[in-house]
Structure 1
């Protein structure tokens, strides 16, 4: 019986591969699910994969989409697009992402937006603990623009070497975790998100009570981009903001979760823009080395690729609608020869982590000698805290990475891929 079942599966798979060519030639969802595959063997329609925008025969071995994400009905083909990519909005959001690195965010806002327009209404901070090391801060800034009718959540990115090393080691050694929207996400990103989200969601609710018709924009750079991805999806999933009123802009974002998370995110956060500066190496990690095609790290859409090294706000770009599109950043082979730190630290010719480095006091050191922010004393307990914009805070979190250490880690990762 078992042998017969195996033989049947192999025959069906082979037939699916052969007859599936009639499916693979289709390039749109409606035609795909309306077309029969396996004819005349089995009365099954072709299946549409929204992640790769490709059509596959029933049980096709070439289809690597999660089964629960496959589109099989015409009614499920239609996706409402709530917004278009705006380079002007992207530039504003990279400046807002820079504000999240500052220990004095209102002064940073005033510097980066000298004509006004944004008012810091709250900052969310929490002491962070993760896999190997203890950190002194996780942070998000909440601002409002009455002129643009926006409520903005800007998330802080990676700020020191130990934090970066922790991110890499966690991704390599600890399995992904289930996430509320569906799918699985990297543990480190999930932990950082969970530390801030209770207060971030409350801060957003508070502002929506005053500005119910405002759009919510979530943004971030590097680690902040990963947290922004989870935050935007959760705010829609938890019915705090509607899908059509949510926008996401990320810069240098690593892969946050698996294919199912990417697909669910695409449905929840339709107006989502994942911006990549030429060959930014952080957007390539965690590496896609998992043997299971559905569990490997995978980007959600929509990639906006800036291929040139020089990236002024008016630089040329390419929009790639397919998740992990091979014609965007993946067309640019990555190796140590073309490695450049600036590809990750600079977006729109702005040093995201150091845009406000001249403001406030210099960073302090804790009793154990670790560098901390000047705001750390405001959230020493183990609960997130909403800090009002007029609190007495100063200083600046500037990105200071030990790039020889990072290169060593990358060589280790390369060896890991080759031998394991």
Structure 2
């Protein structure tokens, strides 16, 4: 039996573009991140996500798109998300839109956004800005959609994704549905792109324990995953970073850093991480423009 187990591990490591995470025993697959979750994240930028969904997934069904004010601070920032069903993939989708325009990106980076924190249900604290945005979307109808879909399709996985600000809200959504026992962590898959630091060290530790399939994809010198500075107000990323240095073309090399929540073997090891262009572009696509164009 032991020999058979070792053989399975060897075969898993031998798969092209697939890396076995030695800590959680989940697998990161470049093809899944590039061709499945990435279109789902980009679709959130569209005024009609169904266009992207139909282009990439047969029999896909948009459940609802929600648009709300991100926080109660009187600003006019709009946060957006959608829920969908992928029957052929046996998956329920929760996807969050990223930053709309550079001005909102600057606002997210403002220290006041990160200094104001709120307690998180799974443990630790999170940015109040991110927490309020997620909770508002959740209570605006996402809760009903997710609960109804899980009730109707109890064997389906829940896929959660988002880019930029959407990555933080996706991280919170995945944590929230597990903490509230809406679904078990083994049935949740989370992949985010260019996600900023979202919560404190206790939040990261709690998040790590909730689900095995949790990956933060980062592109070269993308500035946003380094906002706010590590250690400011105890902010820290959760696992596991997947780092693409320079190229994200098909066949590009990448590194999965799962031995620690943050590792100098991935993007933290770069001397300069100040690129807006690398944040806006993933897998050679301008994320928002590609989503708005229907993922074609």
User: Equivalent residue for 2:58?
Assistant: 116
Task: Choose from 101, 115, 137 the match for 2:45.
Answer: 101
| 2:278 pairs with 1:349 | no
CA–CA separation in structure 1 for the residues paired with 2:223 and 2:58: 34
CA shift in 2, pair 1:356/1:175, >3 Å:
closer
User: Equivalent residue for 1:333?
Assistant: 271
1:350 Cα deviation after fit = 1.7
1:274 Cα deviation after fit = 0.7
More strand by share: 2
Equivalent positions of 1:68-147 (< 5 A) are: 81=24, 83-91=26-34, 92-111=36-55, 113=56, 116-131=58-73, 133-135=75-77, 137-147=78-88
TM-score, scaled relative to structure 2: 0.85
| 2:253 pairs with 1:316 | yes
CA–CA separation in structure 1 for the residues paired with 2:153 and 2:255: 34
User: Equivalent residue for 1:197?
Assistant: 138
CA shift in 2, pair 1:232/1:173, >3 Å:
closer
CA–CA separation in structure 1 for the residues paired with 2:23 and 2:235: 26
TM-score, scaled relative to structure 1: 0.61
CA deviation string 1:359-378 (max 9, x = no partner): 6xxxxxxxxxxxxxxxxxxx
CA–CA separation in structure 2 for the residues paired with 1:330 and 1:347: 18
* Secondary structure of the corresponding residue to residue 27 of structure 2: coil
CA–CA separation in structure 1 for the residues paired with 2:97 and 2:223: 19
Equivalent positions of 1:21-420 (< 5 A) are: 81=24, 83-91=26-34, 92-111=36-55, 113=56, 116-131=58-73, 133-135=75-77, 137-171=78-112, 174-198=115-139, 199-290=141-232, 295-307=233-245, 309-321=246-258, 322-334=260-272, 339-358=274-293
User: Between Structure 1 and Structure 2, how many residues are aligned?
Assistant: 270
| Structure 2 contact 134–172 (Cα < 8 Å) conserved | yes
1:107 Cα deviation after fit = 1.7
CA shift in 2, pair 1:334/1:117, >3 Å:
farther
CA–CA separation in structure 1 for the residues paired with 2:143 and 2:250: 31
CA–CA separation in structure 2 for the residues paired with 1:146 and 1:329: 36
CA shift in 2, pair 1:302/1:171, >3 Å:
farther
Structure 2 unaligned segments of length 5 or more: list them: 1-21
| Structure 2 contact 95–160 (Cα < 8 Å) conserved | yes
| Structure 1 contact 171–186 (Cα < 8 Å) conserved | no
1:175 Cα deviation after fit = 2.9
Structure 1 unaligned segments of length 5 or more: list them: 1-78, 360-420
CA–CA separation in structure 2 for the residues paired with 1:155 and 1:101: 8
| Structure 1 contact 97–219 (Cα < 8 Å) conserved | yes
1:130 Cα deviation after fit = 4.4
CA–CA separation in structure 2 for the residues paired with 1:189 and 1:172: 9
The structure with the larger Rg is 1
User: Equivalent residue for 1:53?
Assistant: none
CA–CA separation in structure 1 for the residues paired with 2:164 and 2:70: 17
